[in-house]
Structure formats: C-alpha cells, structure tokens
Amino acid sequence: MGLPVEIHNATIYQGLIPVLTDVNLLINKGEFVYLIGKTGSGKSSLLKTLYGELPLTEGGGQVAGMGLQNLKKSQIPYLRRKLGIVFQDFQLLTDRTALENLLFVLKATGWKDKQERLDRANEVLAKVGLENKGYKIPAELSGGEQQRLVIARALLNNPEVILADEPTGNLDPDVSDEVMRMLQDVCLEGRSVVMATHDYRLIEEFGGTIYRVANGKVNKIDSLKELVPNQQ
C-alpha cells in the first residue's frame, strides 16, 4: 500500500490546456497539507484531479489506493467513497434537513441498512457538534454550521483523505478557526487533509506542510517567509 496521495511527473489539464506541469506530490497518512496560490493558479484543478473530476492523462498517481491514470467513469464513485470532499459553497441539498442530507449520501454510496444509515448520520452530526440541529434545513443554519455539516458529510464513509477547496473562504475569522480545528482533529485521527486556501493567517496559526501553486508549478516551501520576505 502506497501513501494516501501520490502524484508523479503529472501534467494537469483543463480541457486541452495544460494548467500545471511536472507535478510531484507525496502526502503521508495524517499529514495536513496546504495548497496556496492566487485564484486561477491551478489549486482547484489539482484537487479536481485528485477526486477524479479531471482525468490524469500524463504522469501517474494514486489516491487512497486507487490509480488515477486511465480511471474509468464507472470507478469514480468508488474513488470518492474513499475521499471526503469539502467545498467552499457547501453544495448541500437545500430542500432537505441536515440529517436527510447525510442519509441521502449514505444511500447513494451503498449503505443498504436503514438503521445503520441513521446511526452513522447521527454519529457524524454529533462529531461536528450538530446533534441538536439534524431537523433544520441548511437555510436555518449559520454559515459555520453549514460548513460543519459539509465536514460531517465528508466523514460519512470514514475517508482516508479529505480534500477541502477554500473551506473557510466565506466565513469570518472565528468561524474559520472553528472549521480549522475540526479539520485538524480529523487529521489527528490519521487522515490526510489537503486544503486549498489563500488565508495565510490560518497557515501561521495552525501549521502544516505548504505547497505553492504558481506559474504552472507546484513547489513545496519551508515557510510563509518564502512568500513574504519582509514578514516578521
């Protein structure tokens, strides 16, 4: 069994256009990784490659034990069951309660037993502190609560890897910190977390491995001081 995330000598395409070239990314179990870079630098394209939205046609790689090169459409649901995906814009079902949002995903990912689905949904709601909010629809939850629900949804299938695309982008600093603490806890349980962000404050405060996505390349950097030379 390899590492949770391995990408070797990859070129990442959007359509026919190469966005990132010569990408090498090795992420260990329980490692918290930040992808930093400007909007349009390729962070989201890299994440989309990791969860099978964009095909990996040049280079090699695997995520959670599944090869990404030549991944068939029919295999993508199996890949995503091994992943937890956290989006900035939540992508919750607005006409269903928090609990129903989770039950829907469990059913869609092959949980056959109704009671087991209910037990698991309630378990992850409790894990993110929403055990008393399961009856509310997303519009009745605050932004922070909605993002906690998204994290609960991401944890349903005990994923090996969590991919988070700007998960704090629309949240104020206090709520951002709360979401970060939750993701850090997930990481301490042995899962790998890969988070695209442009919020340097969070990186300074919570720490982790940093990769800069810029000029078509993905490079590991030792500290934020490499980005902001005059930073104290």
CATH number, residue 215 = 3.40.50.300
Looking at the structure, do residues 179 and 72 belong to the same domain, yes or no? yes
In a domain, 3, yes or no: yes
The three-state secondary structure class of 215 is coil
DSSP letter string over 130-156?
Answer: -TT-TTS-GGGS-HHHHHHHHHHHHHT
Looking at the structure, do residues 73 and 188 belong to the same domain, yes or no? yes
Looking at the structure, do residues 140 and 176 belong to the same domain, yes or no? no
The three-state secondary structure class of 73 is helix
The whole-number pLDDT of residue 89 equals 72
The whole-number pLDDT of residue 1 equals 55
In a domain, 231, yes or no: no
Looking at the structure, do residues 5 and 74 belong to the same domain, yes or no? yes
In a domain, 229, yes or no: no
Structure tokens, 70: 């030549």
The whole-number pLDDT of residue 229 equals 47
Looking at the structure, do residues 60 and 1 belong to the same domain, yes or no? yes
Q: Alpha-carbon distance 71 to 73, whole Å?
A: 7
The whole-number pLDDT of residue 228 equals 62
The whole-number pLDDT of residue 231 equals 42
The whole-number pLDDT of residue 153 equals 93
Looking at the structure, do residues 4 and 44 belong to the same domain, yes or no? yes
pTM, full prediction: 0.90
Looking at the structure, do residues 175 and 72 belong to the same domain, yes or no? yes
In a domain, 230, yes or no: no
User: Radius of gyration over alpha carbons of the chain, in Å?
Assistant: 18
pLDDT along the chain (232 residues), means of 10: 89 93 96 92 93 93 92 89 83 92 91 95 94 95 91 92 90 89 92 93 92 95 70 38
Q: How many domains does the chain have?
A: 2
In a domain, 30, yes or no: yes
| Residue 143 belongs to domain spanning | 87-158
Looking at the structure, do residues 167 and 69 belong to the same domain, yes or no? yes
